[in-house]
Chain A
Amino acid sequence: MAGGLAYTTDDLNDLTQAQIFGRVLMDLGSQHPEIVALSADLAKSTKVGDFFAKFPERSFNFGIAEQNMIGAAAGLALAGFKPYAATFGCFASMRACEQVRTDLCYPKLNVKIIGTHAGLSMGNGGTTHHATEDIGIFRTFANMTVMVPADGLETAKVISASIDHDGPMYIRVGRGFEPPAYESLDYDFTIGKAIEMRPGADATVIACGMCVLQAMEAAEDFAEDDGPDIRVINIHTVKPIDKEAIIKAAEETGVIITAEEHNIIGGLGSAVAEILAEAGLAGSVKFKRVGIPDVFSVIGYPEDLYAHYKIDQAGIYDSICDLMGLEKKDRDDEH
Chain B
Amino acid sequence: MIHNYTKREDLVNFLKGKSVEVRKEIIKLVVTAGGGHVGGGLSMTEILLAMYYHVLNIDPKNPKKEDRDRFILSKGHGGVGICPVLADVGYYDHCMMDDFNQYLSPFGMHPDMHKVPGIDMSTGSLGHGLPISVGLALGARLKKASWRTYCLLGDGECNEGTVWEAAMAGAHFKLGNLTAILDRNRLMLDGPVNEIMEIDPIEDKWKAFGWDVRIIDGHDYNQLIDTFESLPPISSQKPVCVICNTTKGKGVSYMENQTKWHYGGLDEATEKQACDDIDKICLP
Interface on A for B, CB 8 Å cutoff? 1-10, 12, 39, 41-45, 49, 61-65, 67-68, 90-91, 95, 124-129, 298-301, 304-305, 308
Is B109 within 8 A of A124, CB to CB?
Answer: yes
Is B267 within 8 A of A1, CB to CB?
Answer: no
Is B109 within 8 A of A61, CB to CB?
Answer: no
Is B190 within 8 A of A2, CB to CB?
Answer: no
Is B146 among interface residues, defined by CB-CB distance under 8 A?
no
Is B159 within 8 A of A301, CB to CB?
Answer: no
Is B34 among interface residues, defined by CB-CB distance under 8 A?
yes
- Per the bound structure, the CA–CA distance linking A6 and B34 in Å amounts to 9
Q: A62-B159, A67-B161 are in contact. Are A4 and B268 (CB under 8 A)?
A: yes
Interface on B for A, CB 8 Å cutoff? 31-35, 76, 101-105, 108-110, 112, 122-127, 156-157, 159-161, 188-190, 193, 196-197, 259-270
- Per the bound structure, the CA–CA distance linking A91 and B188 in Å amounts to 17
Is B76 within 8 A of A63, CB to CB?
Answer: no
Is A9 within 8 A of B264, CB to CB?
Answer: yes
Is A63 within 8 A of B188, CB to CB?
Answer: yes
Chain B residue numbers with a CB within 8 Å of A43 are 190
Is A301 within 8 A of B196, CB to CB?
Answer: no
- Residue on B nearest A4 in the bound complex, by CB: B267
- Per the bound structure, the CA–CA distance linking A126 and B125 in Å amounts to 10
- Residue on B nearest A94 in the bound complex, by CB: B125
Of B31, B34, B103, B260, which is within 8 A of A8 by CB?
B260
- Residue on B nearest A62 in the bound complex, by CB: B197
Is A299 within 8 A of B265, CB to CB?
Answer: no
- Per the bound structure, the CA–CA distance linking A47 and B166 in Å amounts to 32
Of A6, A8, A12, A44, which is within 8 A of B190 by CB?
A44
- Residue on A nearest B265 in the bound complex, by CB: A7
Of A2, A42, A308, which is within 8 A of B189 by CB?
A42
- Residue on B nearest A39 in the bound complex, by CB: B190
B197 to chain A, nearest CB (A): 3
Is A126 within 8 A of B31, CB to CB?
Answer: no
- Per the bound structure, the CA–CA distance linking A42 and B197 in Å amounts to 12
- Per the bound structure, the CA–CA distance linking A124 and B265 in Å amounts to 14
Is B125 within 8 A of A90, CB to CB?
Answer: yes
Is A125 within 8 A of B127, CB to CB?
Answer: no
Chain A residue numbers with a CB within 8 Å of B105 are 124, 299-300
- Per the bound structure, the CA–CA distance linking A124 and B190 in Å amounts to 21
Chain A residue numbers with a CB within 8 Å of B266 are 6
Is B34 within 8 A of A9, CB to CB?
Answer: no
- Per the bound structure, the CA–CA distance linking A5 and B261 in Å amounts to 14
Chain A residue numbers with a CB within 8 Å of B270 are 6
- Per the bound structure, the CA–CA distance linking A124 and B115 in Å amounts to 14
- Residue on A nearest B104 in the bound complex, by CB: A298
Chain B residue numbers with a CB within 8 Å of A95 are 125
Please name the 5 residue pairs, one residue from A and one from B, whose CB atoms are nearest each other, closest first.
A63-B197, A128-B124, A300-B103, A63-B159, A6-B267
- Per the bound structure, the CA–CA distance linking A43 and B33 in Å amounts to 24
- Residue on B nearest A7 in the bound complex, by CB: B265
- Residue on A nearest B101 in the bound complex, by CB: A124
- Per the bound structure, the CA–CA distance linking A42 and B261 in Å amounts to 15
- Per the bound structure, the CA–CA distance linking A298 and B259 in Å amounts to 30
Is A41 within 8 A of B189, CB to CB?
Answer: yes
Q: Which of B33, B101, B267 has the most CB of A within 10 A?
A: B101
- Per the bound structure, the CA–CA distance linking A90 and B128 in Å amounts to 14
Q: A2-B34, A124-B108 are in contact. Are A300 and B124 (CB under 8 A)?
A: no
Is A124 within 8 A of B156, CB to CB?
Answer: no
- Per the bound structure, the CA–CA distance linking A44 and B259 in Å amounts to 11
- Residue on B nearest A42 in the bound complex, by CB: B189
Chain A residue numbers with a CB within 8 Å of B261 are 8-9
Chain A residue numbers with a CB within 8 Å of B259 are 9
Chain B residue numbers with a CB within 8 Å of A68 are 161
A186 to chain B, nearest CB (A): 36
